[in-house]
Amino acid sequence: MYESANVSEEADRTAFRRAEKKYKLYYEQDSKFSRKKKLPKPVDLSALLDFDLILQDFNKNGVLPDGIRVAEADSPVFCIENRPGFYFIPGALSLEEQCKWIKESLTNFPQPPNRTNHNAIYGPVSDLFDSAKANKVLVQEDPTSETCINNNNKWKFYDGEEDIEKAKRRSCKSVPASSLLRKLRWSTLGLQFDWSKRNYDVSLPHNNIPDALCQLAKTHAAIAMPAGEEFRPEAAIVNYFGLGDTLGGHLDDMEADWSKPIVSISLGCKAIFLLGGKSKEDPPHAMYLRSGDIVLMAGEARECYHGVPRIFTDEENSEIGALESELSHESGHFFAEYIKTSRININIRQVF
């Protein structure tokens, strides 16, 4: 679902694509410096919906912008009138909850048998975050070695310089765990999504979604559920974004019943979210997503194109100073160093 650089000229003409290009991060040379220093190209952000400010104004004055309403009286859940089934809950998670799910997303969620984007090349990769923290290196094993024969795994983490040098002398391929962590793009929880076939493969082994995350999803999904029904969290896809990463316009259309919401949790750096219509010709609403925000998409909103054209990783705009401090205080600097230039999104779904 990450955006491809090869976009047709025809697609470039759609309203959704024009919005993506408008808000995407581009660089330009800084004329003040003789060396080729590049700075982010300025972009007009004045048209973005800012639900933090909308909530503040609503609490203070009881006023809402045109086209925005609250889901229920005295509710901090906002809706967009021409996008039925879309719900925005600003600041839904406390700092403590945000820290908890950032740590889970980096340590437990990518653990086998859950699948990640690394499976295709390296097979199951265990303890990636801890290995990166310990400066370990993933080394391709000799196919004739006992490790490969017994474990059917051609890659193994090493942390000793002597072992790494031996591997290099054997002409084995290697990659630092820190590089793999930065290249982690997705992991899957619960029922596993097969990206090659674009469907859920119930035969694949998996770890269940943690009970606490299930309860969190059920609680926030309730307002978007059909009357008398309770949300059943059966699968989750965790997306990891770094500097310059985007998520191109798409539909989440592989679940059986679109009346049930997708529960989308934002963690880390602030981002721009585009909510389009049922055609990419429909001009999208652009809005900020901050750490701790939750978005629900149910019913008609499930048919709307949506994407993330930009995340803000600079200190001035990322708006995660308090989160960094809390993470550093709780768990040391390594989690904070990761999240200061990253965004994590947990999407929880009812599959059947």
Fill in the amino acid letter for 113: P
Q: List the binding residues.
A: 250, 252, 306
Backbone Cα Rg of the chain: 22
pLDDT of 172 reads: 76
Per-residue model confidence as pLDDT tens digits over 40-96: 899 999 999 999 999 999 999 999 999 999 998 778 999 999 999 999 999 999 999
CB 323, CB 291: distance < 8 Å: yes
Q: In whole angstroms, what is the distance from residue 296 CA to residue 88 CA? A: 7
pLDDT of 161 reads: 78
Per-residue model confidence as pLDDT tens digits over 111-145: 999 999 999 999 999 999 999 999 999 998 766 65
Structural domains of the chain ordered from first start: 51-111+184-349 (2.60.120.590), 122-182 (no CATH)
CB 248, CB 5: distance < 8 Å: no
Range from 17-31, 102-116, 134-148 carrying the lowest mean pLDDT? 134-148
Range from 40-44, 171-175, 222-226, 259-263 carrying the lowest mean pLDDT? 171-175
Residue 344 has pLDDT above 60, yes or no: yes
Residue 263 has pLDDT above 70, yes or no: yes
Residue 150: pLDDT band (50, 70, 90) is low
Top-confidence residue, 167 or 322: 322
- The pTM score is 0.91
Residue 282 has pLDDT above 50, yes or no: yes
pLDDT of 162 reads: 72
CB 52, CB 266: distance < 8 Å: no
pLDDT of 165 reads: 76
Alpha-carbon distances of 154 from 55, 167, 277, rounded to whole Å: 52, 13, 46
Q: List the binding residues for Fe cation.
A: 250, 252, 306
E strands, the chain, are 27-29, 38-40, 68-70, 78-80, 86-89, 137-140, 155-158, 174-176, 186-190, 192-194, 199-201, 235-241, 247-250, 262-268, 271-275, 285-289, 294-297, 306-311, 343-349
- Name residue, tokens 């995340």: 311
CB 349, CB 296: distance < 8 Å: no
Residue 153: pLDDT band (50, 70, 90) is low
pLDDT of 149 reads: 47
What's the mean pLDDT when you consider all of the chain? Answer: 91
Per-residue model confidence as pLDDT tens digits over 164-195: 777 667 767 889 999 999 999 999 999 999 87
Q: What number of residues does the chain have?
A: 352
Residue 5 has pLDDT above 50, yes or no: no
Residue 6 has pLDDT above 60, yes or no: no
CB 197, CB 244: distance < 8 Å: no
- Name residue, tokens 């949300």: 231
- Tokens found for residue 181: 């962590």
pLDDT of 4 reads: 46
